């Protein structure tokens, strides 16, 4: 059995995902992060959508806010922050005029770098992972060796609507 790796300084992890795109995963992630911060929790947000990062725009953070230190191949990141929430995304590392086309194991490699090479802080209560859509299995690109000390919200608003309609009889 593979050993799970603890993310330094992070107490709990919540992954927000869905098999369908366009259902509001990123909006939910941002709103959760801000609500948890307003409840007094030290909250960080990681955009795990490597090919279509939206967190820099949604959280109004810029590439210039991320500090990179360390030697080539062993870089560490100090994430950008806004509204009291630390944010990390490929959109904050890759220049906007460069394309990133990653598949399979390379996606996992970059996600691991964002997770484990980012200084989330010494006492982060919650790290939210805004996951990309995946048609077969929402957690497909989740790094498999991270420590599971949190939850996984598989977000599908139509399921919620169907349950409410079934409960009330409205069709």
Looking up residue 79, the CATH number of its domain turns out to be 3.40.50.300
- Pick the closest to residue 130 from 58, 79, 76, 35 (CA basis): 58
pTM of the model: 0.75
Domain count, the chain: 1
DSSP state of 59: T
For residue 112, tell me if it sits in a domain.
Answer: yes
The whole-number average pLDDT for the span 49-60 is: 87
| Residues 16, 20, 24: CA angle, nearest 5 degrees | 55
Question: What is the Cα–Cα distance from 127 to 85, expressed in whole angstroms?
Answer: 10
The pLDDT of residue 5: 77
Question: What is the Cα–Cα distance from 114 to 79, expressed in whole angstroms?
Answer: 10
For residue 92, tell me if it sits in a domain.
Answer: yes
Confidence bin at 31 (pLDDT 50/70/90) = very high
Question: What is the Cα–Cα distance from 135 to 21, expressed in whole angstroms?
Answer: 9
Q: Percentage of the chain with pLDDT > 70?
A: 74
pLDDT tens-digit readout, 96-122: 777 777 777 778 888 888 899 999 999
| Structural domain range at position 158 | 10-168
Q: Say which residue, 164 or 114, is predicted with more confidence.
A: 114
Q: Which structure tokens are listed for 103?
A: 């598949």
């Amino acid at each position: 059995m593979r050993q799970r790796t603890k993310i330094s300084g992070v107490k709990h992890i919540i992954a927000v995902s869905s098999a369908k795109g366009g259902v509001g995963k990123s909006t939910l992630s941002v709103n959760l992060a801000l609500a948890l911060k307003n409840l007094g929790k030290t909250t960080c947000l990681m955009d795990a959508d490597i090919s279509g990062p939206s967190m820099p725009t949604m959280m109004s953070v810029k590439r210039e806010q991320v500090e990179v230190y360390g030697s080539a191949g062993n870089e560490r990141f100090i994430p950008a922050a806004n509204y009291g929430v630390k944010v990390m995304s490929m959109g904050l590392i890759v220049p906007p005029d460069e394309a990133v086309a990653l598949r399979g194991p390379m996606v996992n490699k970059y996600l691991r770098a964002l997770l484990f090479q980012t200084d989330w802080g010494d006492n982060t209560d919650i790290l939210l992972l805004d996951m990309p859509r995946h048609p077969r299995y929402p957690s497909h690109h989740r790094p498999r060796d991270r420590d599971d000390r949190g939850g996984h919200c598989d977000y599908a608003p139509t399921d919620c609507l169907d349950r409410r309609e079934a409960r009330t009889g409205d069709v």
